[in-house]
Structure 1
Amino acid sequence: MSNSDQQSKKSDIGSVTPPPENIYEDHAHDKTALPEDHPAVSTGKSGMQYLGTGLLCSLIAFGGFVFGWDTGTISGFVNMPDFKNRFGQINGSGEHYLSNVRTGLMISIFNIGCAIGGVTLGRLGDIKGRKVGLMLTMVVYIVGIVIQIASVSSWVQFFIGRIISGLAVGSVSVLSPMFISETSPKEIRGTLVSCYQLMITAGIFLGYCTTYGTYHAYDDSRQWRIPNGLCFAWALLMIFGMTFMPESPRYLMEKDRIEDAKRSISIVNKVDIDSEFVEHEAAIILNSIEIERRAGSASWGELFTGKPKIFYRLMVGVVLQSLQQLSGDNYFFYYGTTIFKSVGLTDSFETSIVLGIVNFASTFVSLVTIDRFGRRFTLMAGGFGMSVCLVIFAAIGTKALYNGPYGVDPSKSVGDAMIFLSCFYIFFFATTWGPGVFVVCSETYPLRIRQKGMAIASSANWIWGFLIAFFTPFIANAIHFAYGFVFFGCSLFCIFFVFAFVPETKGLTLEEVDQLYTDYTPGLAFLDFRKEVDNTDKV
């Protein structure tokens, strides 16, 4: 770097007026004092005026579409005749089939790739920036898709391709919510991070529709190669969209690119770069970064020893991400076509489309609930709703579905009721735990270890996803619909965990969330009576 560049950086740093007081140390014992003593400078915007910001963040959130597309298509692939003929085995009667082991591996190995990718490729966000990191992961994703499409008869080749594409999607699951959280205004941060889940549900729904269409239109490899081939379009669209995005201002500040950070803040918030709002936001971020630089080295070990309460915050993220899987959503999404065949439906692909519509439409509700009702209430209400649906689903599936032995003479009315309950379950999940977990995790960690914390938490999600996807065929064959009672128990635990361990972060800046954890008492979240920050610039 030239001397003039270095002098420019120092000049930029000096041009940011620091906050009047240290936002952490001076209020280390008063969580409610911060917003009152240092009120946020308003952009003067109404809700509709955040539309441009929302569109920018939706480009980042499109990474969720890539993940959802895989979920929506793979459940259809394993039921397609050509796919079974190419990658399956032959039974005693000469028919091709996919064994439980092979089905479980081909579906679930994607999650292992995601778990590894979140920890490894996710580091690109700290090295190259959030924006370039997302673009590079899409290149890796394309490589994995090429390997899958090129598979002729080797299920191992298809298996390897899914691992590689999983590496990319795992990285996206870390970088996209983190990028949105660091970029979006605090007033609508929950809504915008929820857009990541909205894109996941859009991908699932359109994946269902596409496999339904190719299943009925073709009888050769186009059944599954066309849906896979469309992945190229999604990856290129993601890369193209990133060219319009400004880099995360917090990443830029961390790299001492002060003017670039201020420009990013002004673009996202649609205000002049010389405005008081930009100066105020830049000063708070810079002050926070300076505090974090003094607090630790951002090593992996700091996840266990760092302050304030870094290990506790890590565990909150890990448990929330684990419970998102253990609540049972992928039981329906990965094996939806198989589940509804067992209740007597002749075309279970159609039911999957219905579930996809409910999932996608319900997620729009979450764009309102997360920021209006807060993180805690939304997650606890969702846990209660999912529990009710799951216990009834499991009970009638176990006791009332079949008039004889399991699998013989299913009752259509009971089967219809189970589909109805599945739709209600997905409504509760999509409006609460689907987006809510990504929102909370994206807010929980300080900047210096945000990528590492989110990578570990996301890895827990992917590992549980692998275990559920792999073992579900075996468990469902052994205990059938009683499997729902397992997810019922986990959904009940969701309520308790949020009640006791997850503090409310609605309305706080990311720097204020760090302050919140300074005095927070682990296990006593329900004693934190701060319902929301008393902001004067609410949407």
Structure 2
Amino acid sequence: MSTTGAATPLSGTTTINPTNSNQDKIEVAHDANDHSENHSANAVGIPKKPASAYMLVSCLCVMVAFGGFVFGWDTGTISGFVNMSDFKQRFGQLNSEGEYYLSNVRTGLIVSIFNIGCAIGGIVLGRLGDIFGRRMGLIIVMCIYVVGIAIQISSTDKWYQYFIGRIISGLAVGAVAVLSPMMISETSPKHIRGTLVSCYQLMITLGIFLGYCTTYGTKSYTDSKQWRIPLGLCFAWAILMVIGMISMPESPRYLVEKNKLDQARKSIARVNKLQAEDPAVQHEVELIAAGIEEEQAAGSASWMELITGKPRIGYRVIMGIMLQSLQQLTGDNYFFYYGTTIFKAVGLNDSFETSIILGIVNFAATFVGLYVVERYGRRKCLLVGSVCMVACFAIFSSVGVTRLYPNGPDQTPSKPAGNAMIVFACLYICFFAATWAGGVFVIISETYPLRIRSKGMAVATAANWLWGFLIAFFTPFITSAINFYYGYVFMGCLIFSFVYVYFFVCETKGLTLEEVNEMYAEGVSPWTSSKWVPGSRALAVEIDQKPEVFNV
């Protein structure tokens, strides 16, 4: 490919220059109006088909999204491990009464170090997708994941061996968190991209739920089967992930970047149920090539470009970091990592059961998220979610502070107050799963141009893992000091999240990844972005609406 800013003609078709005339823009029109669905007669874009036509690509993307299941499984099982008798006996300490326990420091490290591994893995190993392709990159990191699990499951009585294993498995999961949403967003049709990227979050919730169920089933053992059986199942998840990658077509954007145009056509044709020779497929390849050539004309992307790049790359990188940070600061992992501990505090005899209830709510509500993120848009989901979660945390924390211990903190907790807290914890999880859980991953996967996508997503995701580490590590200390007042901290963060999303986050619903770049280049205001129409679509509609003139 040349580096002149115009795409090289492909198989004898017209050259596309993304900076050229309006006539070029007419040819790339897809849908018009509110990132809409009314096709222009002049449009050559990929046609929208009935939902049944996308069954294959949906199944394939779910296989890629299975990487989220691996992360969810860890979250769902580790909260049970730290409360299991054999785990505490092997990796804990003896107290003055001769009972084994895990100190706040050791608990915080074992639970949270996984997040540090994820943060490093996302930045370092996430680059494997650019080097070897999205598919092979995911296969490589799953092999690293297996090594980490093997170290953990072979631990006998050295807590630091288990600790090291969690770091290594975290490296792999961090890379998966970058590569899976990236591959889905680059491969899936734009009409259902938001829903399919949200499947990554759906798999996380499924992993959390099944992790809860598994630890509930194994806690009755009295030996290492309590925690080694759930860990051993991780090998099966890795095998399933690799099998899924073998079936998945490679990202067409990666293939075009590597000048593998025939393979790119086949990939686009397969996911859109078209023939590789279809003009719409050819046109899509040309659009991708035009965007890539324009990016390549500026040379290889450096890390500094995340700050200085155009159009508005620094703005987008900061937005990604803020959204991923705020997703953690909503307080979701306060419940997921320490769910069993929290519900013991409200007087439940078997807190494992309540964790399963949370897992069910989380999984079920994520299905709602698959619909609303595509139906109502990304911005609106985040805004409504913030308001609803503020209300839930306000009630949860207020009841915990004022009503849970009517006779003092050392006395029996109030059962009605405890039940009310569980209800609002479930409502909180419901609103989180339907809005912020998947919505953030969708926005991040759509925000960055291909040139810096892996770097931008890695940095943003690293912020999520870093805050996950801080929350997981310090939560035992904070709850020991201020108990349920901790919820007010998350409530304040949620209020800030509403303000930030309103003023800084643009709507990307219904746009191709190239059109998202165009929106940022035009400097569209976030609060008006949902009504923005790409210039190519607006011009195509304008031409369609002009009356025909006949010469007599």
Q: Can you list the C-alpha shifts for 1:444-470, whole angstroms capped at 9, x where unaligned?
A: 000011000000000000000000000
The 1:18–1:327 alpha-carbon spacing in structure 2 relative to 1, beyond 3 Å, is: farther
Q: Which residue of 2 aligns with 1:88?
A: 92
Aligned to 2:177: 173
Deviations 1:29-87 (Å, cap 9, x if unpaired)? 99x99965874624351122211110010110000000000000000000000000000
Describe the SS at the equivalent of 2:248. Answer: coil
Task: Give a deviation string over 1:410-452, Cα, whole Å, max 9, x none.
Answer: 1101100000000000000000000000000000000011000
Give the corresponding residue for 1:77.
81
Are residues 1:199 and 2:200 paired? no
CA contact (8 A) 2:214 2:230 kept: yes
User: What does 1:34-183 align with in structure 2 at a 5 Å threshold?
Assistant: 39=43, 41-183=45-187
* TM-score where L is the length of structure 1: 0.93
1:427 matched to 2:423? The reply is no
State how far apart, in whole Å, the 2-side matches of 1:319 and 1:28 are. Answer: 36
CA contact (8 A) 1:82 1:219 kept: yes
Q: Is contact 2:8-2:15 (8 Å) kept? A: no
Aligned twin of 2:320? 317
| Cα contact 2:46–2:281 (8 A) shared by 1 | no
Deviations 1:454-512 (A, max 9, x none): 00000000000000000000000100000000000111111111100001110000010
CA contact (8 A) 1:12 1:259 kept: no
Task: Give the alignment of 1:10-49 within 5 angstroms.
Answer: 14-15=10-11, 17-18=13-14, 22=18, 39=43, 41-49=45-53
1:104–1:471 contact (8 Å) kept in structure 2: yes
The one-character-per-residue Cα deviations of 1:237-274 (angstroms, maximum 9, x if unpaired) are 10111100111000000011111111111111121101
Aligned residue-pair number: 524
CA distance in 2, matches of 1:293, 1:93: 67
How has the CA–CA distance of structure 1 residues 206 and 18 changed in structure 2, closer, same or farther, with 3 Å as cutoff?
A: farther
Shift of the alpha carbon at 1:92?
0.6
How far is 1:222 from its partner?
Answer: 0.2
Partner Cα distance (2:23, 2:393) in 1: 44
The answer on whether the counterparts of 1:182 and 1:248 sit within 8 Å (CA) in structure 2 is yes
Q: CA deviation at 1:28?
A: 13
Match of 1:530 in 2: 531
Partner SS state of residue 131, structure 1 = helix
One-letter amino acid of the structure 1 residue matched with residue 448 of structure 2: Y
Rounded to whole Å, the distance in 1 between the matches of 2:229 and 2:25 is 58
The answer to whether 1:487 aligns with 2:490 is yes
Contact 2:17 2:290 in 1 (8 A): no
Q: Percent identity?
A: 60
Assess if the C-alpha contact under 8 Å between 1:384 and 1:495 holds in 2: yes
The answer for unaligned runs of 5 or more in structure 2 is: 33-39, 541-552
Quick one: structure 1 residues 467 and 16, their matched pair in 2 at CA, closer, same or farther if it must change by over 3 Å?
farther
Say which SS state the counterpart of residue 335 (structure 1) adopts: helix
Please name the residue that 1:463 is paired with. 466
State the partner residue of 2:336.
333
Deviation at 1:27, TM superposition (A): 11
Identify the range of structure 1 (270-279 vs 465-474) with the bigger mean alpha-carbon deviation.
Answer: 270-279
Q: Distance in 1 between matches of 2:320 and 2:223?
A: 44
> Which residue is equivalent to 1:292?
295
Contact 2:17 2:24 in 1 (8 A): no
Contact kept? 1:13, 1:256, Cα under 8 Å: no
1:24–1:515: 8 Å Cα contact kept in structure 2?
Answer: no
Asked whether the equivalents of residues 58 and 196 of structure 1 are also in contact (C-alpha less than 8 Å), the reply is yes
How big is the alpha-carbon RMSD for the aligned residues of Structure 1 and Structure 2? 2.4
Q: Is the 8 A contact 1:71 1:333 kept in 2?
A: yes
| Matching residue of 1:439 | 442
- Name 1:3's counterpart in structure 2: none
